[in-house]
Structure 1
Amino acid sequence: MGGKEILIKAVAQAIPTYTMSCFLLPQGLCDDMERMMKNFWWGQRQQETKLGWVSWKRMCNPKARGGLGFRNLKAFNLAMLAKQAWGILNNPSSLVARVLKARYFPTGNLLNAKLGSPPSYSWRSIHSSLEVIRQGTWWGVGNGKQIHIWEDRWLPTPSTYKVISPQIQNFEFPMVSSLIDPNTRWWKAEVLHATFLPFEVDTILRILISYNLPEDKLIWIGNRKGEFSVKSAYHVAHSMVNASEEGESSSGDPYRQLWRNLWHLNLPAKIKIFA
């Protein structure tokens, strides 16, 4: 079993990595590849039937959550494509960024871009990963011109990062820049009190604004360093693909420390895997 784990992770799940970084694989293809890996794991050969004692979905959970750390191919595919999207966001002067912007979102930005008609397969693939970027980032306020007050994530509240105060109808300009006084380079307190709930007013007033009013910046929240990585993007994508199971196996898992201790024991791999 220990050897099979290494073969699946280092060979079977590594072979499609390059393709996954460029194109969105069909769900049927991902299911077929995972079925072959599952059959290999349980020892099935040709047409014989072998019983799978644990679901493949659970085996794709991290080892610290009772799984074996196999990749969910769909989630890993989205994470690899999110890396392409992140590169476009952070290097808008690159050739691919300029071509895609001219073709699909000439007047907006990548995160708000529509799929368009007829889209190329490359653009369709990148567009499918944008939700990973949205879920894994929040806006650092600069001049506020790119941040929508109610639709974007920009508040330092880790639960949602979004404004929960009800949106005011016919609001003159729904961008964060309308809340900043260009003369004092600080928040318009009277507008905040008239627009948001009291606790959100206090939260906004704690956001520091640079006197130079630089461009707004997307900040990755998938890891502690604030830097994008495929690994952290995979965790975001996996929670999206398998939201219900992720909710059950959150930080409240009573066996979390048990799993961590188990994998650090000096025991043969087959015993730890069986446990």
Structure 2
Amino acid sequence: MLNDMATNLNCKTKALPISYLGLPLGAIPRKKATWKPVVDKVKSKLAGWKRKMLSFAGRLILTKSVTSALPVYYLSLFKMPEGVASELDKIQAKFLWGGSEQGRKIHMIKWEELSKRVNQGGLGIRQLRVANNCLLIKWWWRFGKENDALWKRVICSKYKMEAGGWIPSLTPSMSHSAVWKGIISVADQCTSLKVFYLNNFHLKVGDGVRIYFWTDIWCHSVCLKDEFPTLFRLSLDKQESLNGMVDKKITAGGWSLVYDWEKLELDRLVTMLLAAPVLCPECPDQPVWVASSSGSLMSSDLYKFVVATAGVSLSITRLIWLKLCGELSPVVGWREVKEAIKEDLESNTIGSDVVNLEVQKRVSGAGMLVCQVLQTSVSDLYAAQVCLSASLLKCLGAFLLVLGLLGDC
């Protein structure tokens, strides 16, 4: 029967899951088998023979480029299982530190430290778990932004959500598919990211059709329902849109919120509404991301927020990667800084002894800025001394070389 229909329609028959636009259609994201193409591709890009041909800095660059590009397509739709994330971290760490299938080299620094930003003393390697959560939250933004999109209409119809809603229901349900359940599961697994998103998700008033007068945040970044709870309880138009409330005001000649026993609250509400945004009938209501100057959410904004809370910013790290260490490799200088930080952590001196240092030294004839550090910690001062000593040795060697050449002349 099925083959006959496929013949009549001139198409093929195939069982799920199938590959569609690079993604496995009908696959279960929580199974490791779904992620096997991603893991295999990362392994091939970070192969053992490449490890032998590259220095530590070369392996670092290749690791960053592979992990920041290859899994993005999967991460933007599927919730990555913890086992897959751990396996990808192991592949990266083994490649970076020079290990192989036959033998494992010692990992000098924990992977959590390597994943920190450069200004926090790390190497800036992308944290796949965090990137996955940020890419999935982008669907929350698209849910409010793309009101007429087919995918949103399907989701709202299937899961009984309001068609014009701004934020999807974050309450998990047994009826949710594995893909959608993974998208909304970020709210429970990363509470700080959820709070950051809700605090920076605001509404720009347009025609007022989609914005609810009481429950949406449209007036002075506050929800009128929470600001005036008594008036909300007494209101007969709890689910009225902003446009509908304005029409009632024009028809009745004023706001139909007359409660004599709540005169003070009513006066405060009227005062707030007088300074509220004015309706623009030509423009639809739109969400605005206030944490960005463009007003549009980028996954990188969410990622930067999460990684910024992973550690304190160290001013000396900027100097290390600006190659002010002379012949000393920046990677070696970075390791020295990490060792100094570790020693200070063990002795509980970081954050207690702060040295006010202002050094701006130029080597005569070279014109090289060695270092300039303001209000650095003990660890920063130690690393600055390493950079300064190496730079002075380099300049001294160059000076002796010039004297030798002049002597030969």
**Structure-2-length-normalised TM-score:** 0.50
Task: Give the deviation of 1:219 after TM superposition.
Answer: 0.6
| Residue 178 (structure 2) aligns with | 121
Asked if 2 retains the 8 angstrom alpha-carbon contact of 1:104 and 1:116, the reply is: no
Matches within 5 A, 1:245-260: 246=309, 249=311, 253=312, 255-260=313-318
With over 3 angstroms needed to count, the CA separation of the structure-2 counterparts of 1:261 and 1:147, relative to structure 1, is farther
Distance 2:108 2:213 in 1: 48
Task: Give the deviation of 1:135 after TM superposition.
Answer: 5.0
| Aligned counterpart in structure 1 of residue 86 of structure 2, from 16, 21, 31 | 31
Task: Give the deviation of 1:214 after TM superposition.
Answer: 5.4
With over 3 angstroms needed to count, the CA separation of the structure-2 counterparts of 1:94 and 1:232, relative to structure 1, is same
| Aligned counterpart in structure 2 of residue 170 of structure 1, from 233, 240, 244 | 233
Instruction: Give SS of 2:136's match.
Output: helix
Distance 1:179 1:260 in 2: 55
| Aligned counterpart in structure 2 of residue 41 of structure 1, from 73, 89, 96 | 96
| Residue 204 (structure 2) aligns with | 140
Distance 1:110 1:165 in 2: 20
Task: Give the deviation of 1:64 after TM superposition.
Answer: 2.8
Q: CA RMSD in A?
A: 4.1
Asked if 2 retains the 8 angstrom alpha-carbon contact of 1:61 and 1:68, the reply is: yes
| Aligned counterpart in structure 1 of residue 331 of structure 2, from 256, 267, 270 | 270
- The answer on 1:90 being equivalent to 2:145 is yes
User: 2:300 is aligned with what amino acid?
Assistant: K
Q: Identity over the aligned pairs, expressed in percent? A: 18
Distance 2:246 2:178 in 1: 44
**Structure-1-length-normalised TM-score:** 0.70
Instruction: Give SS of 1:170's match.
Output: helix
User: 1:119 is aligned with what amino acid?
Assistant: H
Matches within 5 A, 1:11-90: 11-46=66-101, 48=104, 50-53=106-109, 55-90=110-145
| Residue 194 (structure 1) aligns with | 265
Distance 1:66 1:193 in 2: 55
Q: Deviations over 1:190-242 (max 9, x none)?
A: 9895179x8x9987765432353954321123422222222113234x26xxx
| Residue 159 (structure 2) aligns with | 104
User: 1:264 is aligned with what amino acid?
Assistant: L
Asked if 2 retains the 8 angstrom alpha-carbon contact of 1:179 and 1:192, the reply is: no
Q: Deviations over 1:93-129 (max 9, x none)?
A: 3322221121113435261424333221222233235
Asked if 2 retains the 8 angstrom alpha-carbon contact of 1:79 and 1:233, the reply is: yes
With over 3 angstroms needed to count, the CA separation of the structure-2 counterparts of 1:203 and 1:273, relative to structure 1, is farther
Distance 2:296 2:174 in 1: 33
Task: Give the deviation of 1:78 after TM superposition.
Answer: 1.9
Task: Give the deviation of 1:165 after TM superposition.
Answer: 4.6
Distance 2:318 2:217 in 1: 33
| Residue 4 (structure 1) aligns with | 59
Q: Paired residues, what number?
A: 256
Distance 1:110 1:117 in 2: 23
Task: Give the deviation of 1:270 after TM superposition.
Answer: 1.8
Distance 1:65 1:155 in 2: 38
Runs of 5+ unmatched residues, structure 2: 1-55, 188-193, 338-409
Deviates more, 1:24-33 or 1:163-172: 163-172
Relative contact order: is structure 1 or structure 2 higher (C-alpha 8 Å, sep ≥ 6)?
Answer: 1
Instruction: Give SS of 1:24's match.
Output: coil
Structure of larger gyration radius: 2
User: 2:79 is aligned with what amino acid?
Assistant: L
Task: Give the deviation of 1:8 after TM superposition.
Answer: 1.2
User: 1:118 is aligned with what amino acid?
Assistant: S
Instruction: Give SS of 1:92's match.
Output: coil
Deviates more, 1:203-212 or 1:64-73: 203-212
Task: Give the deviation of 1:20 after TM superposition.
Answer: 0.8
Asked if 2 retains the 8 angstrom alpha-carbon contact of 1:262 and 1:272, the reply is: yes
Task: Give the deviation of 1:42 after TM superposition.
Answer: 3.3
Asked if 2 retains the 8 angstrom alpha-carbon contact of 1:86 and 1:133, the reply is: no
